[in-house]
């Protein structure tokens, strides 16, 4: 998705924040799924 420089800076800041990185890594490590959230 194309975004302007200000939006790109915000996105990068959020994605690189330590709390976001921790949350993302923890989410990737989760083994369980919610069947109702899955696409058929």
* Structure confidence at residue 3 (pLDDT): 97
Residue 1 reports pLDDT greater than 90:
no
Please tell me the distance from the alpha carbon of residue 20 to that of residue 26, in angstroms, as a whole number: 10
Summarize pLDDT for 4-30 with one digit per residue, the tens. 999 999 999 999 999 999 999 999 999
- How is the chain split among helix, strand and coil, in percent rounded to 5? 65, 0, 35
Positive or negative, the Cα torsion across 2, 14, 24, 40?
Answer: negative
């Amino acid at each position: 998705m194309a975004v302007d420089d200000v939006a790109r800076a915000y996105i990068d800041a959020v994605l690189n924040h330590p709390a976001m990185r921790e949350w993302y890594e923890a989410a990737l490590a989760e083994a369980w799924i919610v069947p109702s959230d899955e696409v058929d």
